[in-house]
Structure 1
Amino acid sequence: MENVLGRIVAGKVTDENEEDYFVQVAGTTFRLSKSEIKKPLHLGSNFRGFTYENEDHQMAMTRNAPDAQVDHYGWGTVVRNQRQLGVFVNIGLPDKDVVVSLDDLPDMMELWPQKGDRLLVTLREDAKHRLWGVPADMDIFQAIAQPANKHMQNANVTATVFQLKLVGTRVMTEHFELGFIHPSEREREPRLGEQLTARVIGVNDEGTLNLSLKPRAYEAIDDDAAMLLAALEHSQDGHLEFSDKSSPAAIKAYFGISKGQFKRAVGHLLKARRITQHDGALWLVPVTPDDPSTPADEA
Protein backbone atom coordinates (compact mmCIF):
# COMPACT_ATOMS: atom_id res chain seq x y z
CA MET A 1 0.00 0.00 0.00
CA GLU A 2 3.00 2.26 -0.31
CA ASN A 3 2.06 5.67 -1.79
CA VAL A 4 -1.64 4.91 -1.43
CA LEU A 5 -2.84 5.70 2.13
CA GLY A 6 -3.43 9.31 3.09
CA ARG A 7 -3.68 10.48 -0.50
CA ILE A 8 -6.24 11.03 -3.24
CA VAL A 9 -5.85 8.08 -5.62
CA ALA A 10 -7.78 6.45 -8.46
CA GLY A 11 -9.20 2.94 -8.28
CA LYS A 12 -11.69 0.62 -9.95
CA VAL A 13 -15.10 -0.28 -8.55
CA THR A 14 -15.06 -4.07 -8.19
CA ASP A 15 -18.09 -4.87 -6.01
CA GLU A 16 -20.92 -3.43 -3.92
CA ASN A 17 -23.46 -4.27 -1.23
CA GLU A 18 -26.41 -2.36 0.22
CA GLU A 19 -24.21 0.11 2.11
CA ASP A 20 -20.85 0.29 0.32
CA TYR A 21 -19.00 0.16 -2.95
CA PHE A 22 -15.64 -1.60 -3.01
CA VAL A 23 -12.85 0.14 -4.86
CA GLN A 24 -9.57 -1.61 -5.63
CA VAL A 25 -6.33 0.39 -5.66
CA ALA A 26 -2.96 -1.29 -6.26
CA GLY A 27 -4.29 -4.65 -5.08
CA THR A 28 -6.00 -3.31 -1.92
CA THR A 29 -9.78 -3.01 -1.61
CA PHE A 30 -11.31 0.06 0.04
CA ARG A 31 -14.88 0.59 1.29
CA LEU A 32 -16.69 3.61 -0.12
CA SER A 33 -19.95 4.51 1.63
CA LYS A 34 -22.89 4.82 -0.75
CA SER A 35 -24.19 7.69 1.39
CA GLU A 36 -21.49 9.88 -0.20
CA ILE A 37 -22.45 9.04 -3.78
CA LYS A 38 -25.31 10.89 -5.49
CA LYS A 39 -25.13 9.12 -8.85
CA PRO A 40 -24.74 5.30 -8.68
CA LEU A 41 -21.39 3.87 -9.68
CA HIS A 42 -21.10 0.96 -12.08
CA LEU A 43 -18.85 -2.07 -11.61
CA GLY A 44 -15.65 -1.55 -13.53
CA SER A 45 -15.88 2.25 -13.42
CA ASN A 46 -13.07 4.40 -12.04
CA PHE A 47 -13.30 6.46 -8.85
CA ARG A 48 -10.92 8.91 -7.20
CA GLY A 49 -10.98 9.37 -3.47
CA PHE A 50 -8.97 9.77 -0.28
CA THR A 51 -7.79 6.51 1.32
CA TYR A 52 -7.27 5.71 4.99
CA GLU A 53 -7.82 3.03 7.65
CA ASN A 54 -10.94 3.82 9.69
CA GLU A 55 -11.43 3.36 13.43
CA ASP A 56 -12.70 -0.21 12.82
CA HIS A 57 -9.40 -1.02 11.06
CA GLN A 58 -11.12 -1.25 7.69
CA MET A 59 -9.55 0.22 4.56
CA ALA A 60 -11.84 3.10 3.60
CA MET A 61 -12.17 5.68 0.84
CA THR A 62 -14.01 8.99 0.84
CA ARG A 63 -14.74 11.61 -1.79
CA ASN A 64 -14.63 14.27 0.96
CA ALA A 65 -10.85 14.51 1.25
CA PRO A 66 -9.46 16.42 4.25
CA ASP A 67 -7.00 19.26 3.77
CA ALA A 68 -4.42 17.32 5.79
CA GLN A 69 -2.92 14.61 3.57
CA VAL A 70 0.49 13.10 2.90
CA ASP A 71 2.59 16.07 1.68
CA HIS A 72 -0.33 18.48 2.29
CA TYR A 73 -1.10 20.49 5.42
CA GLY A 74 -4.45 21.26 6.99
CA TRP A 75 -5.87 22.41 10.32
CA GLY A 76 -7.31 19.83 12.67
CA THR A 77 -9.10 20.07 16.02
CA VAL A 78 -7.86 18.15 19.05
CA VAL A 79 -10.52 15.82 20.46
CA ARG A 80 -8.61 14.08 23.27
CA ASN A 81 -5.17 13.06 24.48
CA GLN A 82 -3.67 9.82 25.73
CA ARG A 83 -0.64 9.98 27.98
CA GLN A 84 1.29 7.05 26.48
CA LEU A 85 0.44 7.84 22.88
CA GLY A 86 -0.21 11.49 22.05
CA VAL A 87 -3.21 13.58 21.00
CA PHE A 88 -6.09 12.63 18.70
CA VAL A 89 -6.94 15.19 16.03
CA ASN A 90 -10.10 15.47 13.93
CA ILE A 91 -9.03 16.39 10.40
CA GLY A 92 -12.50 15.97 8.91
CA LEU A 93 -12.79 12.23 8.27
CA PRO A 94 -16.17 10.70 9.16
CA ASP A 95 -14.83 7.75 11.15
CA LYS A 96 -11.18 8.40 11.95
CA ASP A 97 -9.11 10.73 14.13
CA VAL A 98 -5.37 10.84 13.48
CA VAL A 99 -2.83 10.68 16.28
CA VAL A 100 -0.01 13.17 16.75
CA SER A 101 2.68 11.17 18.52
CA LEU A 102 3.99 12.23 21.92
CA ASP A 103 7.39 12.36 20.18
CA ASP A 104 6.11 15.44 18.32
CA LEU A 105 4.65 17.08 21.44
CA PRO A 106 6.21 19.13 24.27
CA ASP A 107 8.04 17.19 26.99
CA MET A 108 5.72 18.68 29.61
CA MET A 109 2.27 17.15 29.27
CA GLU A 110 0.60 20.29 30.66
CA LEU A 111 1.73 22.03 27.46
CA TRP A 112 0.10 19.41 25.21
CA PRO A 113 -2.93 20.56 23.22
CA GLN A 114 -6.28 20.08 24.92
CA LYS A 115 -9.72 19.37 23.50
CA GLY A 116 -10.72 22.17 21.13
CA ASP A 117 -7.16 23.34 20.41
CA ARG A 118 -5.94 23.50 16.79
CA LEU A 119 -2.93 21.98 15.03
CA LEU A 120 -1.70 22.41 11.48
CA VAL A 121 -0.69 18.89 10.44
CA THR A 122 0.35 16.72 7.53
CA LEU A 123 0.03 12.92 7.39
CA ARG A 124 2.80 10.34 7.54
CA GLU A 125 2.48 6.60 6.84
CA ASP A 126 4.69 4.38 9.00
CA ALA A 127 6.19 0.97 8.21
CA LYS A 128 3.02 -0.74 9.49
CA HIS A 129 0.84 1.37 7.14
CA ARG A 130 -0.58 3.50 9.95
CA LEU A 131 -1.29 7.18 9.38
CA TRP A 132 0.07 9.70 11.89
CA GLY A 133 -0.41 13.44 12.12
CA VAL A 134 2.79 15.49 12.05
CA PRO A 135 2.66 19.16 13.17
CA ALA A 136 3.93 21.80 10.76
CA ASP A 137 7.33 23.27 11.57
CA MET A 138 8.57 26.86 11.37
CA ASP A 139 9.47 26.53 7.68
CA ILE A 140 5.87 25.68 6.79
CA PHE A 141 4.44 28.56 8.79
CA GLN A 142 6.89 30.98 7.21
CA ALA A 143 5.89 29.69 3.77
CA ILE A 144 2.18 30.39 4.32
CA ALA A 145 2.59 33.59 6.37
CA GLN A 146 1.32 36.98 5.25
CA PRO A 147 3.11 40.24 6.20
CA ALA A 148 1.56 42.25 8.99
CA ASN A 149 0.36 45.81 8.44
CA LYS A 150 1.92 48.65 10.43
CA HIS A 151 -1.59 49.86 11.26
CA MET A 152 -2.08 46.74 13.42
CA GLN A 153 -0.22 48.42 16.32
CA ASN A 154 -2.28 48.03 19.53
CA ALA A 155 -4.96 45.92 17.78
CA ASN A 156 -6.37 42.73 19.29
CA VAL A 157 -5.70 39.56 17.29
CA THR A 158 -6.75 35.92 17.57
CA ALA A 159 -3.80 33.56 17.20
CA THR A 160 -2.91 29.87 17.46
CA VAL A 161 0.25 28.66 19.20
CA PHE A 162 2.49 26.55 16.96
CA GLN A 163 5.91 26.61 18.63
CA LEU A 164 7.09 26.66 22.25
CA LYS A 165 10.66 27.78 22.98
CA LEU A 166 12.54 29.01 26.02
CA VAL A 167 12.84 32.42 24.35
CA GLY A 168 9.07 32.68 23.91
CA THR A 169 5.94 31.50 22.12
CA ARG A 170 5.39 31.63 18.36
CA VAL A 171 1.87 31.98 16.98
CA MET A 172 -0.01 32.50 13.74
CA THR A 173 -2.99 34.84 13.63
CA GLU A 174 -6.30 34.01 11.98
CA HIS A 175 -5.15 36.16 9.04
CA PHE A 176 -1.83 34.27 8.76
CA GLU A 177 0.50 36.85 10.31
CA LEU A 178 3.37 35.43 12.38
CA GLY A 179 3.63 36.59 15.96
CA PHE A 180 5.97 36.24 18.93
CA ILE A 181 5.13 36.45 22.65
CA HIS A 182 8.08 37.08 24.98
CA PRO A 183 7.83 35.40 28.42
CA SER A 184 7.61 38.86 30.02
CA GLU A 185 4.37 39.49 28.11
CA ARG A 186 2.41 36.56 29.55
CA GLU A 187 1.33 35.32 32.97
CA ARG A 188 1.72 31.63 32.02
CA GLU A 189 3.12 29.66 29.11
CA PRO A 190 0.41 28.88 26.53
CA ARG A 191 -0.19 25.32 25.29
CA LEU A 192 0.72 24.07 21.84
CA GLY A 193 -2.37 24.58 19.67
CA GLU A 194 -4.04 26.95 22.14
CA GLN A 195 -6.04 29.79 20.63
CA LEU A 196 -5.25 33.14 22.23
CA THR A 197 -6.47 36.70 22.14
CA ALA A 198 -3.39 38.90 22.14
CA ARG A 199 -2.53 42.58 21.74
CA VAL A 200 -0.10 43.86 19.13
CA ILE A 201 2.71 45.76 20.86
CA GLY A 202 5.03 45.95 17.87
CA VAL A 203 5.12 45.42 14.10
CA ASN A 204 8.58 44.47 12.85
CA ASP A 205 10.05 45.60 9.55
CA GLU A 206 9.91 42.03 8.21
CA GLY A 207 6.15 41.98 8.77
CA THR A 208 5.95 39.91 11.96
CA LEU A 209 4.20 40.89 15.18
CA ASN A 210 5.30 41.26 18.77
CA LEU A 211 2.35 40.37 20.98
CA SER A 212 1.31 40.63 24.62
CA LEU A 213 -1.16 38.56 26.60
CA LYS A 214 -1.23 41.11 29.40
CA PRO A 215 -4.19 43.49 29.61
CA ARG A 216 -3.90 47.16 28.72
CA ALA A 217 -3.54 49.43 31.69
CA TYR A 218 -7.15 50.61 31.41
CA GLU A 219 -8.36 46.99 31.25
CA ALA A 220 -6.39 45.95 34.32
CA ILE A 221 -7.95 48.42 36.75
CA ASP A 222 -10.23 47.11 39.47
CA ASP A 223 -13.86 48.03 40.08
CA ASP A 224 -13.12 50.98 42.39
CA ALA A 225 -10.63 52.48 39.94
CA ALA A 226 -13.07 51.95 37.07
CA MET A 227 -15.81 53.73 39.03
CA LEU A 228 -13.48 56.64 39.85
CA LEU A 229 -12.38 56.88 36.21
CA ALA A 230 -16.00 56.90 35.06
CA ALA A 231 -16.80 59.71 37.50
CA LEU A 232 -13.94 61.78 36.08
CA GLU A 233 -14.97 61.06 32.49
CA HIS A 234 -18.50 62.28 33.24
CA SER A 235 -17.41 65.37 35.16
CA GLN A 236 -17.91 68.70 33.43
CA ASP A 237 -14.26 69.58 32.91
CA GLY A 238 -12.43 66.31 33.62
CA HIS A 239 -11.60 66.88 37.26
CA LEU A 240 -13.01 66.23 40.73
CA GLU A 241 -12.30 68.18 43.91
CA PHE A 242 -10.96 65.15 45.76
CA SER A 243 -7.46 64.01 46.71
CA ASP A 244 -5.72 61.82 49.26
CA LYS A 245 -6.20 64.72 51.67
CA SER A 246 -10.01 64.57 51.44
CA SER A 247 -11.92 63.43 54.51
CA PRO A 248 -13.12 59.81 54.77
CA ALA A 249 -16.66 61.10 55.27
CA ALA A 250 -16.62 63.17 52.05
CA ILE A 251 -15.18 60.26 50.07
CA LYS A 252 -17.76 57.85 51.48
CA ALA A 253 -20.62 60.25 50.77
CA TYR A 254 -19.60 60.86 47.14
CA PHE A 255 -18.08 57.56 46.03
CA GLY A 256 -19.54 55.08 48.49
CA ILE A 257 -16.11 53.59 49.30
CA SER A 258 -13.66 53.92 52.17
CA LYS A 259 -10.70 56.29 52.06
CA GLY A 260 -8.37 53.28 51.86
CA GLN A 261 -10.20 51.98 48.79
CA PHE A 262 -10.15 55.49 47.32
CA LYS A 263 -6.38 55.84 47.77
CA ARG A 264 -5.73 52.43 46.18
CA ALA A 265 -7.95 53.36 43.23
CA VAL A 266 -6.16 56.69 42.81
CA GLY A 267 -2.78 54.95 42.96
CA HIS A 268 -3.88 52.46 40.33
CA LEU A 269 -5.02 55.20 37.96
CA LEU A 270 -1.87 57.25 38.55
CA LYS A 271 0.26 54.21 37.73
CA ALA A 272 -1.82 53.60 34.59
CA ARG A 273 -1.29 57.27 33.63
CA ARG A 274 -5.04 57.84 33.34
CA ILE A 275 -5.13 60.67 35.91
CA THR A 276 -2.95 63.27 37.59
CA GLN A 277 -3.33 64.73 41.08
CA HIS A 278 -2.53 68.37 41.84
CA ASP A 279 -4.05 71.48 43.35
CA GLY A 280 -6.13 69.31 45.70
CA ALA A 281 -8.00 67.66 42.84
CA LEU A 282 -7.94 64.68 40.50
CA TRP A 283 -7.54 65.41 36.80
CA LEU A 284 -8.32 63.15 33.88
CA VAL A 285 -5.43 62.62 31.42
CA PRO A 286 -6.69 63.01 27.84
CA VAL A 287 -6.21 59.85 25.78
CA THR A 288 -4.20 60.32 22.58
CA PRO A 289 -3.79 57.93 19.61
CA ASP A 290 -0.13 57.40 20.49
CA ASP A 291 -0.93 56.36 24.05
CA PRO A 292 -0.12 52.61 24.39
CA SER A 293 -3.07 52.24 26.76
CA THR A 294 -5.50 53.47 24.11
CA PRO A 295 -8.05 50.84 23.00
CA ALA A 296 -7.58 49.73 19.39
CA ASP A 297 -10.98 51.03 18.34
CA GLU A 298 -10.13 54.48 19.70
CA ALA A 299 -6.67 54.69 18.19
Structure 2
Amino acid sequence: MIVEMQVARKKEIGYFLTDGSEEVFLHQSEATDDLRQGDRVQVFLYHDHENRLAATMAMPHVALGEYGWLEVVDMSARLGVFLDNGTKKDLLVFVDDLPKLQDEWPRPGDRLLVTLKRDKLGRLLAKPVTEEEVVKIAQPADASMKNRQVEGTVYKVIQAGAFLLTEDEQILFVHREEMTERLHLGQTIRCRVSFVREDGRMNGSMRERKEVQYGEDADKLLRYLLHRDGAMPYTDDTPAEVIRDKFQMSKSSFKRALGKLMKERRIEQKDGWTKIVKTD
Protein backbone atom coordinates (compact mmCIF):
# COMPACT_ATOMS: atom_id res chain seq x y z
CA MET A 1 0.00 0.00 0.00
CA ILE A 2 1.35 3.44 -0.94
CA VAL A 3 0.40 6.17 1.56
CA GLU A 4 1.53 9.61 2.69
CA MET A 5 2.69 9.84 6.30
CA GLN A 6 4.35 12.40 8.57
CA VAL A 7 7.68 12.04 10.38
CA ALA A 8 6.74 11.91 14.06
CA ARG A 9 10.28 11.60 15.43
CA LYS A 10 13.75 10.66 14.31
CA LYS A 11 15.97 7.99 15.87
CA GLU A 12 19.55 6.99 15.14
CA ILE A 13 18.51 4.00 13.02
CA GLY A 14 15.52 5.55 11.30
CA TYR A 15 12.21 7.36 11.61
CA PHE A 16 8.81 6.80 13.15
CA LEU A 17 6.05 7.84 10.77
CA THR A 18 2.44 8.49 11.65
CA ASP A 19 -0.85 8.84 9.84
CA GLY A 20 -2.41 10.43 12.91
CA SER A 21 -3.51 7.20 14.53
CA GLU A 22 -0.81 4.61 13.90
CA GLU A 23 2.98 4.68 13.82
CA VAL A 24 5.16 2.78 11.37
CA PHE A 25 8.95 2.50 11.41
CA LEU A 26 11.04 3.63 8.43
CA HIS A 27 14.58 2.26 8.71
CA GLN A 28 17.39 4.59 7.69
CA SER A 29 18.36 2.18 4.88
CA GLU A 30 14.82 2.46 3.46
CA ALA A 31 14.88 6.28 3.34
CA THR A 32 15.95 7.96 0.11
CA ASP A 33 16.29 11.43 1.73
CA ASP A 34 17.44 12.90 5.04
CA LEU A 35 14.16 13.59 6.81
CA ARG A 36 13.22 15.91 9.65
CA GLN A 37 10.38 15.85 12.14
CA GLY A 38 7.19 17.14 10.55
CA ASP A 39 8.17 16.22 6.98
CA ARG A 40 5.49 14.48 4.95
CA VAL A 41 6.68 11.55 2.85
CA GLN A 42 5.19 9.02 0.47
CA VAL A 43 6.00 5.46 1.51
CA PHE A 44 5.15 1.89 0.62
CA LEU A 45 3.91 -0.21 3.56
CA TYR A 46 4.81 -3.90 3.81
CA HIS A 47 5.32 -6.63 6.41
CA ASP A 48 8.96 -7.34 7.23
CA HIS A 49 10.56 -10.75 7.89
CA GLU A 50 9.16 -10.67 11.44
CA ASN A 51 5.68 -9.84 10.11
CA ARG A 52 5.84 -6.28 11.48
CA LEU A 53 4.33 -3.44 9.43
CA ALA A 54 7.19 -1.36 8.06
CA ALA A 55 7.72 1.45 5.56
CA THR A 56 10.07 2.09 2.65
CA MET A 57 10.52 5.09 0.38
CA ALA A 58 11.52 2.75 -2.45
CA MET A 59 8.46 2.50 -4.66
CA PRO A 60 7.40 -0.99 -5.84
CA HIS A 61 7.29 -1.92 -9.52
CA VAL A 62 3.76 -3.26 -8.98
CA ALA A 63 1.37 -1.98 -6.30
CA LEU A 64 -1.90 -3.35 -5.00
CA GLY A 65 -4.57 -3.12 -7.70
CA GLU A 66 -1.98 -3.07 -10.50
CA TYR A 67 -0.38 -5.76 -12.64
CA GLY A 68 3.05 -5.98 -14.23
CA TRP A 69 6.01 -8.15 -15.17
CA LEU A 70 8.33 -9.06 -12.29
CA GLU A 71 11.56 -11.07 -12.37
CA VAL A 72 11.89 -14.35 -10.47
CA VAL A 73 14.87 -14.15 -8.08
CA ASP A 74 14.54 -17.31 -6.00
CA MET A 75 12.39 -20.39 -5.47
CA SER A 76 11.43 -22.68 -2.61
CA ALA A 77 9.89 -26.11 -3.18
CA ARG A 78 7.88 -25.64 0.02
CA LEU A 79 6.75 -22.02 -0.36
CA GLY A 80 6.82 -21.06 -4.04
CA VAL A 81 8.83 -18.49 -6.00
CA PHE A 82 10.06 -15.03 -5.01
CA LEU A 83 9.87 -11.94 -7.23
CA ASP A 84 11.81 -8.69 -7.27
CA ASN A 85 9.30 -5.88 -6.79
CA GLY A 86 11.84 -3.07 -6.44
CA THR A 87 11.95 -3.17 -2.63
CA LYS A 88 14.22 -5.03 -0.21
CA LYS A 89 11.52 -7.56 0.60
CA ASP A 90 10.83 -9.88 -2.32
CA LEU A 91 7.26 -10.85 -3.16
CA LEU A 92 6.17 -14.46 -2.76
CA VAL A 93 4.00 -16.31 -5.27
CA PHE A 94 2.64 -19.02 -3.01
CA VAL A 95 2.83 -22.66 -4.09
CA ASP A 96 -0.97 -22.87 -4.36
CA ASP A 97 -0.90 -20.25 -7.15
CA LEU A 98 1.70 -22.17 -9.19
CA PRO A 99 1.30 -25.23 -11.46
CA LYS A 100 1.03 -28.57 -9.67
CA LEU A 101 4.05 -29.92 -11.55
CA GLN A 102 7.18 -28.26 -10.21
CA ASP A 103 9.00 -28.53 -13.55
CA GLU A 104 6.37 -26.11 -14.91
CA TRP A 105 7.33 -23.48 -12.29
CA PRO A 106 9.28 -20.38 -13.35
CA ARG A 107 13.05 -20.32 -12.79
CA PRO A 108 15.24 -17.46 -11.53
CA GLY A 109 15.62 -14.96 -14.36
CA ASP A 110 12.17 -15.69 -15.79
CA ARG A 111 9.42 -13.06 -15.71
CA LEU A 112 5.88 -13.40 -14.42
CA LEU A 113 2.90 -11.20 -15.20
CA VAL A 114 1.37 -10.74 -11.75
CA THR A 115 -0.97 -8.73 -9.61
CA LEU A 116 -0.92 -8.41 -5.81
CA LYS A 117 -3.18 -9.77 -3.11
CA ARG A 118 -3.25 -9.93 0.69
CA ASP A 119 -3.34 -13.10 2.74
CA LYS A 120 -5.42 -13.58 5.90
CA LEU A 121 -2.75 -11.80 7.96
CA GLY A 122 -2.71 -8.81 5.63
CA ARG A 123 0.67 -9.65 4.07
CA LEU A 124 1.23 -8.80 0.42
CA LEU A 125 1.64 -11.71 -1.97
CA ALA A 126 1.89 -11.90 -5.75
CA LYS A 127 -0.23 -14.11 -7.96
CA PRO A 128 -0.10 -14.78 -11.71
CA VAL A 129 -2.75 -12.87 -13.64
CA THR A 130 -5.83 -14.81 -14.61
CA GLU A 131 -6.93 -15.59 -18.15
CA GLU A 132 -9.70 -12.99 -17.77
CA GLU A 133 -7.17 -10.28 -16.88
CA VAL A 134 -4.95 -11.17 -19.84
CA VAL A 135 -7.92 -11.02 -22.23
CA LYS A 136 -8.69 -7.48 -21.02
CA ILE A 137 -5.24 -6.18 -21.98
CA ALA A 138 -4.62 -8.38 -25.04
CA GLN A 139 -4.49 -6.85 -28.52
CA PRO A 140 -5.92 -8.73 -31.53
CA ALA A 141 -3.55 -9.92 -34.27
CA ASP A 142 -4.33 -9.63 -37.97
CA ALA A 143 -3.64 -12.02 -40.85
CA SER A 144 -0.35 -10.27 -41.69
CA MET A 145 1.20 -11.85 -38.57
CA LYS A 146 1.22 -15.33 -40.12
CA ASN A 147 4.74 -16.79 -40.47
CA ARG A 148 6.29 -13.88 -38.55
CA GLN A 149 8.76 -14.54 -35.75
CA VAL A 150 7.52 -13.17 -32.42
CA GLU A 151 8.80 -13.17 -28.84
CA GLY A 152 6.45 -14.09 -26.04
CA THR A 153 6.40 -15.07 -22.38
CA VAL A 154 4.44 -18.02 -21.01
CA TYR A 155 1.64 -16.94 -18.67
CA LYS A 156 -0.29 -20.21 -18.50
CA VAL A 157 0.58 -23.90 -18.95
CA ILE A 158 -2.01 -26.61 -19.63
CA GLN A 159 -1.74 -30.25 -20.66
CA ALA A 160 -2.24 -29.43 -24.34
CA GLY A 161 0.38 -26.68 -24.49
CA ALA A 162 1.22 -23.17 -23.30
CA PHE A 163 -0.28 -19.68 -23.63
CA LEU A 164 2.07 -16.76 -24.21
CA LEU A 165 1.69 -13.00 -24.26
CA THR A 166 3.84 -11.43 -26.97
CA GLU A 167 5.82 -8.18 -26.85
CA ASP A 168 2.85 -6.50 -28.57
CA GLU A 169 0.46 -7.99 -25.97
CA GLN A 170 -1.08 -10.52 -28.34
CA ILE A 171 -2.15 -13.98 -27.14
CA LEU A 172 -0.35 -16.91 -28.73
CA PHE A 173 -0.88 -20.62 -28.06
CA VAL A 174 1.85 -23.22 -28.68
CA HIS A 175 0.58 -26.80 -28.79
CA ARG A 176 2.86 -29.36 -27.17
CA GLU A 177 3.37 -31.01 -30.59
CA GLU A 178 4.78 -27.71 -31.86
CA MET A 179 7.33 -27.39 -29.04
CA THR A 180 11.00 -28.24 -29.39
CA GLU A 181 11.30 -28.26 -25.59
CA ARG A 182 8.85 -28.39 -22.72
CA LEU A 183 7.81 -24.88 -21.73
CA HIS A 184 7.32 -23.55 -18.21
CA LEU A 185 5.59 -20.56 -16.64
CA GLY A 186 7.53 -17.31 -17.07
CA GLN A 187 9.75 -18.61 -19.89
CA THR A 188 10.38 -16.26 -22.83
CA ILE A 189 10.85 -17.77 -26.29
CA ARG A 190 10.85 -16.82 -29.96
CA CYS A 191 8.57 -18.76 -32.27
CA ARG A 192 6.79 -18.56 -35.59
CA VAL A 193 3.12 -17.61 -35.94
CA SER A 194 1.55 -20.55 -37.75
CA PHE A 195 -2.09 -19.43 -37.73
CA VAL A 196 -4.14 -16.33 -36.91
CA ARG A 197 -7.64 -17.02 -35.64
CA GLU A 198 -10.73 -14.95 -36.40
CA ASP A 199 -10.81 -13.68 -32.80
CA GLY A 200 -7.29 -12.26 -33.15
CA ARG A 201 -5.51 -14.95 -31.16
CA MET A 202 -2.57 -16.75 -32.71
CA ASN A 203 -1.20 -20.27 -32.82
CA GLY A 204 2.55 -20.64 -32.84
CA SER A 205 5.25 -23.19 -33.51
CA MET A 206 8.80 -23.50 -32.22
CA ARG A 207 9.54 -25.67 -35.27
CA GLU A 208 10.65 -24.50 -38.68
CA ARG A 209 8.16 -24.29 -41.54
CA LYS A 210 7.49 -27.75 -42.96
CA GLU A 211 9.52 -27.30 -46.11
CA VAL A 212 12.52 -26.23 -44.01
CA GLN A 213 11.92 -28.95 -41.43
CA TYR A 214 11.72 -31.63 -44.13
CA GLY A 215 15.19 -30.66 -45.30
CA GLU A 216 16.61 -30.65 -41.77
CA ASP A 217 15.05 -34.04 -41.01
CA ALA A 218 16.38 -35.47 -44.29
CA ASP A 219 19.88 -34.19 -43.49
CA LYS A 220 19.63 -35.77 -40.06
CA LEU A 221 18.76 -39.18 -41.56
CA LEU A 222 21.57 -38.92 -44.09
CA ARG A 223 24.09 -38.18 -41.35
CA TYR A 224 22.81 -41.16 -39.39
CA LEU A 225 23.12 -43.41 -42.44
CA LEU A 226 26.68 -42.26 -43.12
CA HIS A 227 27.65 -43.11 -39.54
CA ARG A 228 26.25 -46.63 -40.12
CA ASP A 229 28.11 -47.32 -43.35
CA GLY A 230 25.13 -46.26 -45.44
CA ALA A 231 22.41 -48.55 -44.05
CA MET A 232 19.90 -48.64 -41.19
CA PRO A 233 17.17 -51.11 -40.15
CA TYR A 234 14.45 -48.42 -40.11
CA THR A 235 11.84 -47.87 -42.85
CA ASP A 236 8.31 -46.55 -43.42
CA ASP A 237 7.07 -49.61 -41.50
CA THR A 238 9.09 -48.95 -38.32
CA PRO A 239 6.81 -48.31 -35.27
CA ALA A 240 6.30 -44.65 -34.31
CA GLU A 241 7.67 -45.12 -30.78
CA VAL A 242 10.93 -46.52 -32.17
CA ILE A 243 11.24 -43.57 -34.56
CA ARG A 244 10.62 -41.03 -31.79
CA ASP A 245 13.13 -42.71 -29.47
CA LYS A 246 15.83 -43.08 -32.13
CA PHE A 247 15.47 -39.84 -34.10
CA GLN A 248 13.37 -37.52 -31.87
CA MET A 249 10.86 -36.96 -34.65
CA SER A 250 7.32 -38.08 -35.34
CA LYS A 251 6.53 -41.00 -37.65
CA SER A 252 4.98 -38.61 -40.19
CA SER A 253 8.09 -36.38 -40.18
CA PHE A 254 10.28 -39.47 -40.59
CA LYS A 255 8.25 -40.67 -43.58
CA ARG A 256 8.29 -37.23 -45.20
CA ALA A 257 12.07 -37.05 -44.83
CA LEU A 258 12.47 -40.56 -46.32
CA GLY A 259 10.13 -39.62 -49.14
CA LYS A 260 12.20 -36.53 -49.94
CA LEU A 261 15.41 -38.56 -50.04
CA MET A 262 13.85 -41.31 -52.17
CA LYS A 263 12.42 -38.75 -54.60
CA GLU A 264 15.92 -37.34 -54.96
CA ARG A 265 17.16 -40.95 -55.48
CA ARG A 266 19.60 -40.66 -52.61
CA ILE A 267 18.24 -43.67 -50.68
CA GLU A 268 16.29 -46.86 -51.30
CA GLN A 269 14.35 -49.29 -49.11
CA LYS A 270 14.75 -53.04 -49.43
CA ASP A 271 14.09 -56.05 -47.17
CA GLY A 272 13.36 -53.92 -44.12
CA TRP A 273 16.43 -51.72 -44.56
CA THR A 274 17.01 -48.18 -45.77
CA LYS A 275 20.26 -47.74 -47.70
CA ILE A 276 22.13 -44.94 -49.41
CA VAL A 277 22.03 -45.37 -53.17
CA LYS A 278 25.57 -45.95 -54.37
CA THR A 279 26.62 -44.08 -57.48
CA ASP A 280 29.49 -44.98 -59.77
Q: TM-score when scaled to structure 2?
A: 0.72
3-state DSSP of counterpart to 2:219: helix
Aligned to 2:189: 196
- CA separation in 2, counterparts of 1:201 and 1:174? 17
- CA separation in 2, counterparts of 1:76 and 1:107? 21
- CA separation in 2, counterparts of 1:157 and 1:87? 27
* Superposition CA RMSD, Å: 3.7
Aligned to 1:21: 15
3-state DSSP of counterpart to 1:89: strand
3-state DSSP of counterpart to 1:142: helix
- CA separation in 2, counterparts of 1:107 and 1:35? 36
- CA separation in 1, counterparts of 2:176 and 2:218? 30
Does residue 108 (structure 1) correspond to residue 101 (structure 2)? The answer is yes
Does residue 117 (structure 1) correspond to residue 110 (structure 2)? The answer is yes
Aligned to 1:243: none
- CA separation in 2, counterparts of 1:201 and 1:273? 24
Quickly say closer, same or farther: Cα 1:224–1:274, change in 2 above 3 A.
closer
Amino acid at match of 1:115: P
- CA separation in 1, counterparts of 2:61 and 2:259? 49
Quickly say closer, same or farther: Cα 1:35–1:109, change in 2 above 3 A.
closer
- C-alpha displacement at 1:206, in angstroms? 2.0
Does residue 75 (structure 1) correspond to residue 69 (structure 2)? The answer is yes
Q: Which residue of 149, 154, 168 maps to 1:156?
A: 149
- C-alpha displacement at 1:173, in angstroms? 0.9
Alignment of structure 1 residues 1-299 onto 2, 5 Å? 7-25=1-19, 26-33=21-28, 36-38=31-33, 40-55=34-49, 57-93=51-87, 95-217=88-210, 218=212, 221-222=215-216, 225=219, 271=257
Deviations 1:256-278 (A, max 9, x none): x97669xx9xx98x749999957
Q: TM-score when scaled to structure 1?
A: 0.68
- C-alpha displacement at 1:27, in angstroms? 0.7
Number of matched pairs: 246
- C-alpha displacement at 1:36, in angstroms? 4.5
- C-alpha displacement at 1:191, in angstroms? 1.1
- CA separation in 1, counterparts of 2:261 and 2:60? 55
- C-alpha displacement at 1:32, in angstroms? 4.8
Amino acid at match of 2:17: V
- Identity percentage of aligned residues: 30
Amino acid at match of 1:100: V
Quickly say closer, same or farther: Cα 1:171–1:223, change in 2 above 3 A.
closer
3-state DSSP of counterpart to 1:47: strand
Deviations 1:185-208 (A, max 9, x none): 124541111222221101222221
Unaligned runs of 5+ in 2: 236-252, 267-280
Does the Cα contact within 8 Å between 2:218 and 2:261 map onto a contact in 1?
A: no
Quickly say closer, same or farther: Cα 1:220–1:73, change in 2 above 3 A.
farther
Does the Cα contact within 8 Å between 1:74 and 1:91 map onto a contact in 2?
A: no
- CA separation in 1, counterparts of 2:214 and 2:17? 61
Does the Cα contact within 8 Å between 1:67 and 1:73 map onto a contact in 2?
A: no
- CA separation in 1, counterparts of 2:217 and 2:173? 31
Quickly say closer, same or farther: Cα 1:276–1:154, change in 2 above 3 A.
farther
Does the Cα contact within 8 Å between 1:147 and 1:207 map onto a contact in 2?
A: yes
Amino acid at match of 2:193: V
- CA separation in 1, counterparts of 2:56 and 2:216? 54
- CA separation in 2, counterparts of 1:65 and 1:274? 60
